A and B are shown apart, each in its own frame.
Chain A
Amino acid sequence: MERELVGVFGLLALLILILLRVPVALAMLVTGVVGSWVVSLVSPFLKFGPYLLQFKTALWNTVANYDLSVVPLFILMGFLAAETGLSRDLFHGMAALTRRVRGGVAMATILACAGFGAVSGSSVATASTMSRVALPELRRLRYAETLSTGVLAAGGTLGILIPPSVALVIYAIVVEASIIQMFQAAIVPGILAVVFFLIAIRLRVARDPSIAPPAAEMTADEISTAIRRLLPVATIFGTIILGLGMGLFTPTPAAAIGVFLILAYGLERRASSADGLTWPRLRAALLSTSKTAAMIYFILFSADILKGFFARTGLPMALSDWAAASTLEPYAVLLVMLLALIALGCFMESLSMILVVVPFFWPVLIELNGGDFVSAADAAFGMTTDELKIWFGILALVVVELGLITPPVGLNVFVIKSFSPNTSLGTIFRGVAPFFAVELLRTALLLLLPGLCLFLTRVL
């Protein structure tokens, strides 16, 4: 019991360090190392000296990992897409398609966020890039601030789920699920999110048309140019998704080919216009990639060390034993886990949250479902362990998305605030509220109808 207590105190220490504004990865690493030392004092057979020897290769093993090499490549793809003008083309193309609908530019913003989220895989990158592109246009058309900023904060969340997504890749690696099946499972929930957001805009504009004045007329030439420029985006996205879906590529080559296509697109834009890829833009994309990729790799390394500490305490095992012996209603436990993820998502960075929490939740869910090798017919959730991994992963990422727009500290809201310093946080949160409501509805649907996530993995 002493060792498990060390684990509980370790968890508390981690939360305190994070709240004290110690970088999340550093807090995880310090907790892991110091905690392991304390465990060696409580249980002398778990010696600290041999434990330290793992650091001869631990960092290298994290970064030199073929499965994880997809991470910096997807990040580079997103930053290149932002620097080469792809995001602007995407937005103008969508705006041309939705020009006849009242509130069409807000809808175009959601569609462009979905498209950009697909190539960037990051919610914060999607929110910041699309803010730069869409906010000036929404302002020029005199859209209400609540609608403009709310649409951007909510649209940004699409990046985390719409495949290919870095968060999906990392979750799949943590629980040893198939990355391609995770991508397949995320497609329907991603489309549902877009549809629900569009419905939320339609209802808001129908109730108060003054928040979305009609857009200016476009000439036939402007429309055809804008729609034509959507083709490269569709080609890049289609190549990645179809290549993955049809088994032509594994995730790392898919990401590298995505980077290659965007580089080619940027060079073509450079040749035909003043836009496109230049050395300063490539340099900016490479440096931004450095910042984000190193942040993620440091978290992954620290999470591995932290996981080792918790394993030494026996806490995850104790939790799964408790779950196996309990008579708790599985769905009630799952609901509590999702609520905990929403609550944590209010203040914790999403990737580290998944890495810290999933190793605790996952063994409990397996036991509640009926054990590792249970058949779908006998399982509490009516699915095998492999399907449970996928379903829970999608649910977890959906509620993490919710955390990004949950008051008082939804990260995306602060990203939008940095682009619109004169808009109050209250205004942005009011703007986000309808999207928050439809997100709750979507989560409930995915919870009640697991087939929405699992359908494509079963037929493809």
Chain B
Amino acid sequence: MPLGTVFRRVVEAWALLGGLLLLAVVALTAVNAAGFTADVLVSTLGADVSGLPGYEDAVTMFVGVAALAMFPYCQLHGGHAVVDVLMQHAPPWASRGVAVISAALTAALALALAAMLAWGAAEMRDDGTETPVLGWPVWVFLPPAVLSCLLWAGAAVAAVAGEGEQSDGA
């Protein structure tokens, strides 16, 4: 299987994992809402049922990982908003030039962000940074975020090398 196809599939699977994490948030919310509803119902009998403790902590961390997992797929499939007003009249070499420069800049920035996030994760681990209610160590959620940024950089290069799709024009 060509390397480009393998990369495409990895990026897609990574985005789907992000999507499934969102569905986990939906399931968490359903349980939490059921807890609150049950509390309203049984409170008349003097009993109480609690929602999920630390629900906001879990949602914040899961959505953080899920959202970054989606970046490479968006980049590979030209999902970022662009304005076509001027360049639709430009010669193909000019459009191609802007696309290549944009992809190179995105790849460089994504790599720099991956390095900074890894640095941030190491600091959070050393500082013992935790989520406020559940006390989960935050750094644990950052390695997938770093991986997302690395895939994002790869997707920027792959998209301009012809493995992706055209951007959605505005």
Q: Is A21 within 8 A of B73, CB to CB?
A: no
B66, closest chain A residue (CB):
A72
Of the four ranges (under 10, 10 to 19, 20 to 34, 35 or more), the interface on chain B belongs to: 35 or more
B47 sits at the interface (CB 8 A):
no
Return chain B residues, CB-CB under 8 Å to A68. Answer: 63
Q: Is B82 within 8 A of A60, CB to CB?
A: no
Q: Is B81 within 8 A of A349, CB to CB?
A: yes
B55, closest chain A residue (CB):
A253
Q: Is A76 within 8 A of B19, CB to CB?
A: yes
Our pick among A25, A56, A69 for the contact of B59 (Cβ within 8 Å) is A69
Our pick among B26, B70, B99 for the contact of A259 (Cβ within 8 Å) is B26
Tell me the minimal C-beta distance from A282 to chain B in angstroms.
Answer: 8
Tell me the minimal C-beta distance from A173 to chain B in angstroms.
Answer: 14
Return chain A residues, CB-CB under 8 Å to B69. Answer: 290
A283 sits at the interface (CB 8 A):
yes
A256 sits at the interface (CB 8 A):
yes
B56, closest chain A residue (CB):
A66
Q: Is A298 within 8 A of B56, CB to CB?
A: no
Say yes or no: A23-B80 contact (C-beta < 8 A), given A72-B63, A294-B70: yes
Return chain A residues, CB-CB under 8 Å to B65. Answer: 64
Q: Is A66 within 8 A of B59, CB to CB?
A: yes
> Total A-B residue pairs with C-beta atoms closer than 8 Å?
185
Return chain B residues, CB-CB under 8 Å to A283. Answer: 16
B67-79: CB near A (< 8 Å → 1, else 0) gives 1111101110101
Give A23-62 interface residues, CB cut-off 8 Å to B.
23-26, 29-30, 55-57, 59-60
Return chain A residues, CB-CB under 8 Å to B33. Answer: 249, 253, 257
Q: Is A290 within 8 A of B98, CB to CB?
A: no
A411 sits at the interface (CB 8 A):
yes
Q: Is A295 within 8 A of B25, CB to CB?
A: no
Q: Is A294 within 8 A of B86, CB to CB?
A: no
B128 sits at the interface (CB 8 A):
no
Q: Is B26 within 8 A of A409, CB to CB?
A: no
Return chain A residues, CB-CB under 8 Å to B30. Answer: 256-257, 260
Q: Is A63 within 8 A of B119, CB to CB?
A: no
Q: Is B60 within 8 A of A65, CB to CB?
A: yes
Return chain B residues, CB-CB under 8 Å to A263. Answer: 26
A287 sits at the interface (CB 8 A):
yes
Tell me if A's interface is mostly helix, strand, loop or mixed: helix
A195 sits at the interface (CB 8 A):
no
Q: Is A55 within 8 A of B73, CB to CB?
A: no
Q: Is A23 within 8 A of B68, CB to CB?
A: no
Q: Is A260 within 8 A of B26, CB to CB?
A: yes
B112 sits at the interface (CB 8 A):
yes
Return chain B residues, CB-CB under 8 Å to A19. Answer: 83, 85-87
Q: Is A293 within 8 A of B84, CB to CB?
A: no
Q: Is B68 within 8 A of A63, CB to CB?
A: yes
Q: Is B86 within 8 A of A21, CB to CB?
A: yes
Q: Is B80 within 8 A of A20, CB to CB?
A: no
Tell me the minimal C-beta distance from A403 to chain B in angstroms.
Answer: 10
Q: Is B80 within 8 A of A295, CB to CB?
A: yes
Tell me the minimal C-beta distance from A30 to chain B in angstroms.
Answer: 6
A453 sits at the interface (CB 8 A):
no
A348 sits at the interface (CB 8 A):
yes
Q: Is A294 within 8 A of B116, CB to CB?
A: no
B90-126: CB near A (< 8 Å → 1, else 0) gives 0000010011011001100100110011011001000
Our pick among B19, B22, B116 for the contact of A56 (Cβ within 8 Å) is B116
Say yes or no: A56-B71 contact (C-beta < 8 A), given A64-B60, A69-B25, A69-B63: no
How long is the Cα–Cα vector from A130 to B81 in the complex, in angstroms? 21
How long is the Cα–Cα vector from A304 to B132 in the complex, in angstroms? 24
Q: Is B87 within 8 A of A287, CB to CB?
A: no
Taking A19-B83, A56-B116, A252-B59 as known contacts, 20 extra A-B pairs with beta carbons closer than 8 A to each other, sorted by chain A number, are A19-B86, A21-B167, A22-B101, A23-B167, A24-B80, A24-B170, A25-B81, A55-B116, A63-B68, A64-B60, A64-B141, A68-B63, A69-B63, A257-B29, A260-B27, A287-B73, A289-B22, A292-B74, A294-B67, A351-B81
Q: What are 24 of the A-B contact pairs (CB < 8 Å)?
A: A21-B99, A23-B81, A23-B102, A60-B142, A63-B67, A65-B64, A66-B60, A69-B25, A76-B22, A249-B33, A253-B33, A285-B19, A286-B20, A287-B12, A290-B15, A290-B19, A290-B69, A291-B74, A294-B75, A295-B80, A295-B81, A297-B68, A348-B170, A349-B81
